């Protein structure tokens, strides 16, 4: 049986260290870092994420500002709020919860956030910095996965790393981070021919495609480290990942569960980015 990569445990460890860094920050600077989160509309999943981000901020001693807009808010009003937050010294990090209603351009919204406050690392300036390898922030999910691999002493150098999924939020930055640690990286997607032939080569397999139980035992090499980014809700109401956990854990060396694997790390990395942003802003 594979060893379980416990995201709750690692997350709690990292949050302890963030709490003590925030305390130190406050002693040195007389204020605590602040994160502003904007929620537009009434998507129930987004509302849960935003509430969890708010709670997490308070737990590590940071300020959290929650700004909610009706789903019919105009793009101009939203952009004006971002301009205001960009100027607000109490706000060190800004996050606009995605997805946005269709009449609002996500691209325009992301581009409007000051790169220095872009704790999601979605702004093109930050994406470019990640590509070059000289960055301030990393997108929270891939950053959380790198922390998990480090905590469980998974060596990446020279390893065959396969990422399934090529989103801007997870797949693409994940591939760059693994490459940055000298992995040999392959990115697979819906047009990949003979996916199983590729995934079978993986020493480290990261799955982020949003299809319940998609990766099965026959697609995984014995001894592989399997990271499951998926969160899917089955008809019976249960949550499951993109990996068929029970069967894959019989061949993998290490595996993340869903829930309790990658998920808890994402908000933790957001807190870390907010602290980094605050530290950078006082140096300016």
The residues that touch ligand GUN, with contacts defined as CB under 6 A, are 95-98, 120, 140, 169
Measured between its terminal Cα atoms, the distance across the chain in Å is: 51
Question: Least separation, in Å, of the C-beta of 49 and ligand GUN?
Answer: 6
Q: Which is nearer to ligand GUN, 96 or 225 (CB)?
A: 96
281 is catalytic: no
The single residue of 81, 97, 172, 242 carrying the catalytic annotation is: 97
Would strands 34-40 and 93-96 be described as parallel, antiparallel, or unpaired? parallel
Nearest approach in angstroms of CB 122 to ligand GUN is 7
* Cα 14 to Cα 9, 111, 124, 163, 174, distances in angstroms: 9, 30, 28, 25, 20
Q: Min. distance of Cβ 20 from ligand GUN in angstroms?
A: 25
Residue 97 known to be catalytic = yes
Q: Which of 53, 81, 254, 272 is catalytic?
A: 53
Residue 87 catalytic?
A: no
Catalytic one of 116, 117, 118, 120: 120
Closest separation in Å from C-beta 274 to ligand GUN: 13
Which is it for strands 232-233 and 239-240: parallel, antiparallel or unpaired?
Answer: antiparallel
Q: Are 117 and 89 in contact (CB under 8 A)?
A: no
The residues that are catalytic are: 53, 97, 120
């Amino acid at each position: 049986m594979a060893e379980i990569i416990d995201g709750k445990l690692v997350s709690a460890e990292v949050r302890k260290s963030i709490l003590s860094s925030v305390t130190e920050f406050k002693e040195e600077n007389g204020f605590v870092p602040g994160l502003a989160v904007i929620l537009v509309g009434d998507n129930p999943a987004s509302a849960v994420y935003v509430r969890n981000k708010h709670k997490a901020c308070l737990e590590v001693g940071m300020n959290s500002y929650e700004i909610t807009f009706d789903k019919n808010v105009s793009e101009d009003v939203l952009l004006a709020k971002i301009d205001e937050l960009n100027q607000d010294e109490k706000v060190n990090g800004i996050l606009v919860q995605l997805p946005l209603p269709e009449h609002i351009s996500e691209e325009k919204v992301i581009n409007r956030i000051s790169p220095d406050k872009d704790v999601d690392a979605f702004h093109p300036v930050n994406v470019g910095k990640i590509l070059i390898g000289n960055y301030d922030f990393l997108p929270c999910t891939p950053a959380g996965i790198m922390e998990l691999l480090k905590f469980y002493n998974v060596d990446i150098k020279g390893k065959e790393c396969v990422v399934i999924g090529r989103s801007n939020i997870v797949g693409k930055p994940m591939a760059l981070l693994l490459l940055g640690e000298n992995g040999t990286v392959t990115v697979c997607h819906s047009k990949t021919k003979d996916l199983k032939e590729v995934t079978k080569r993986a020493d480290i397999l990261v799955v982020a495609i949003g299809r319940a139980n998609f990766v099965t035992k026959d697609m995984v090499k014995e001894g592989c480290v399997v990271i499951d980014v998926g969160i899917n809700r089955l008809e019976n109401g249960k949550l499951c990942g993109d990996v068929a956990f029970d069967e894959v854990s019989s061949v993998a060396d290490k595996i993340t569960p869903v829930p309790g694997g990658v998920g808890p790390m994402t908000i933790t990395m957001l807190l870390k980015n907010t602290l980094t942003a605050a530290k950078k802003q006082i140096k300016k």
